[in-house]
Structure 1
Amino acid sequence: MAEGKESRPLALHARIEREVEDRILSGEWPPGTRIPFEHELTAHYGCSRMTVNKALSELVRKGLIERRRKSGSYVRQPEVLSAVMEIHQLEREVRALGLAYDFRPIESAIRSADAADRRRLMLERPEELLHLRSLHVAGSRPFCLEDRLINLAEVPQARQTDFSKSPPGTWLLEQVPWSAAEHRINATAAGRAEAELLDLREGTPCLVVARRTWNTTGSITQVNLTYPGDMHTLVAQFAPSGRPG
């Protein structure tokens, strides 16, 4: 009786799938790369188009590539999973995907809160605030558009802080204690300004996470984080309330 079974060679479609997957996961083919056309893979592997199609269909199922009509197959941007009940640093989310991170400030202004600002921060009177807009980039693709208000009555040190190179969310988490936070999540269509900054078509579905944090004396910050809808998923994990009877 044989001591073990000889490993069987992979079926050709599985070999094609594995080799393409290896190139994607190793970073050799980063997000946005067009992989060889079906006829090119057919010629390279000396097989039928049906075999190549079977391999690519499995890669689509795994979420590694997307097929575009008349254009070919492209490596997909990895989807980000974020816990709804936690505050994450955007840089950490991007680097967890194995992608280069870049932060690009757009606007910074100190002004008195208007009625809309007061609603966002839930202020009773028109406090002075810092308004920041910035873009977070993953690899070569815009990842998230940040629109943030910081209440200078609660965070006066933000007035002298240079946010041109450091993301304000990271600075706030490291420097400013907070006692509670609220997330509001909704879907929206990208307006002209958002679409231009996120490199999308106007009207493209986006996911907006609106977050406010506060302490025992008042609101600290309110931020609207706008993500392209095809690259972000929010996850909530919870347990049954109460005790089993």
Structure 2
Amino acid sequence: MKPGPRSSFRVIKDEIARRIGEQTWKAGALIPGEEALAAEFGAARATVNRALQELARAGLIERKRKVGTRVALHPVRQARFAIPLVSQEVAAAGAAYRYALLAREARAADARDAERLGVALGDMVLHLECLHLADERPYQFEDRLINPSAAPKAMEESFETLGPNEWLVGAAPFSRAEFTFLAALPSAREAKILDVAESEPVFVGERRTWLLARPITAVRMVHPQSHRLTSRL
């Protein structure tokens, strides 16, 4: 829906981010210039310029003199922190990779979902449980929530053959992320899936991403204690 006349820079910024997030404007696409956007939103060019500057700082767009403004080709993940693709991690270690979807459920967010993902109680969420294997041994258990209002096409995906992380990297650009790493004891379900003892510490990575203020996903990734994380920036 087109915003009304005399839009503020926040309205313009949020609408452009929405179009990028829903891939109305795809990665690498040239977006309309300031004059055209000013006419569409009923705003001054200075207001449009401010919105575009903030989106550029967030890593969603790239602005170049005499070339124009394009949707960023490379997701923010590459500029701030490397979000690995598990299949590539396993292959790089010389092992055979296999992926299995364990559970997929679209449901109304309960209290735990709402707190974990940052949505309202009762909002629709997509819950996925996946197992990644290396040489047929459990490598990572992935417990993920996706916010369909930020990534609506996720509801159309079965995730039977393509993992949600790989899908999100290509389909749901983000502007902000939060990473947490910790050692913890596994839940009974995590221990069973990873084939470890409940008394055996595991390596846990937790990540949340947002498109501006809208949460996209929250994921808990649990590995056997032998796991090592290496990141090169």
* TM-score above 0.5, yes or no: yes
Query: What secondary structure is seen at the aligned counterpart in 2 of 1:231?
Result: coil
Aligned to 2:150: 154
Q: How does 1:27-42 map to 2 (within 5 A)?
A: none
Residue 126 of structure 1: CA displacement? 3.1
Aligned to 1:222: 218
Q: Does 1:143 align with 2:139?
A: yes
Query: What secondary structure is seen at the aligned counterpart in 2 of 1:208?
Result: strand
| Alignment partner of 1:130 out of 126, 132, 135 | 126
Q: 1:127, 1:153 within 8 Å by CA — same for their partners in 2?
A: no
Aligned to 1:195: 191
Looking at structure 2, the residues matched to 187 and 144 of structure 1 have their Cα atoms a distance apart, in angstroms, of 14
Aligned to 1:39: none
Q: Does 1:177 align with 2:173?
A: yes
Q: Does 1:186 align with 2:189?
A: no
Looking at structure 2, the residues matched to 116 and 236 of structure 1 have their Cα atoms a distance apart, in angstroms, of 33
Residue 124 of structure 1: CA displacement? 4.0
Q: Which has the larger radius of gyration?
A: 1
Query: What secondary structure is seen at the aligned counterpart in 2 of 1:145?
Result: strand
Q: Specify the code of the residue in structure 2 equivalent to 1:122.
A: G
Looking at structure 1, the residues matched to 228 and 218 of structure 2 have their Cα atoms a distance apart, in angstroms, of 20
Q: How does 1:65-144 map to 2 (within 5 A)?
A: 85-144=81-140
Looking at structure 2, the residues matched to 197 and 124 of structure 1 have their Cα atoms a distance apart, in angstroms, of 30
Aligned to 1:231: 227
Q: 2:82, 2:232 within 8 Å by CA — same for their partners in 1?
A: no
> Could you report, residue by residue, the CA deviation over 1:171-221 in whole angstroms, capped at 9, with x for unpaired residues?
000111111110011111123211111111222110111100111240000
Q: Specify the code of the residue in structure 2 equivalent to 1:173.
A: V
Query: What secondary structure is seen at the aligned counterpart in 2 of 1:232?
Result: coil
Residue 234 of structure 1: CA displacement? 4.8
User: Taking structure 2 as the reference length, what is the TM-score of the superposition?
Assistant: 0.63
Residue 235 of structure 1: CA displacement? 4.9
What RMSD in Å do the two structures reach over aligned CA positions? 1.7
User: Taking structure 1 as the reference length, what is the TM-score of the superposition?
Assistant: 0.60
Looking at structure 1, the residues matched to 189 and 163 of structure 2 have their Cα atoms a distance apart, in angstroms, of 21
Looking at structure 2, the residues matched to 219 and 144 of structure 1 have their Cα atoms a distance apart, in angstroms, of 23
State the aligned residue count: 154
Looking at structure 1, the residues matched to 171 and 150 of structure 2 have their Cα atoms a distance apart, in angstroms, of 12
Looking at structure 2, the residues matched to 191 and 154 of structure 1 have their Cα atoms a distance apart, in angstroms, of 29
Residue 107 of structure 1: CA displacement? 0.5
Residue 125 of structure 1: CA displacement? 4.7
Query: What secondary structure is seen at the aligned counterpart in 2 of 1:229?
Result: coil
Unaligned runs of 5+ in 2: 1-79
Residue 119 of structure 1: CA displacement? 1.0
Looking at structure 1, the residues matched to 137 and 169 of structure 2 have their Cα atoms a distance apart, in angstroms, of 25
- The 4+ residue runs of structure 1 with deviation greater than 6 A are none
Query: What secondary structure is seen at the aligned counterpart in 1 of 2:229?
Result: strand
Looking at structure 1, the residues matched to 116 and 87 of structure 2 have their Cα atoms a distance apart, in angstroms, of 24
Q: Percent identity?
A: 35
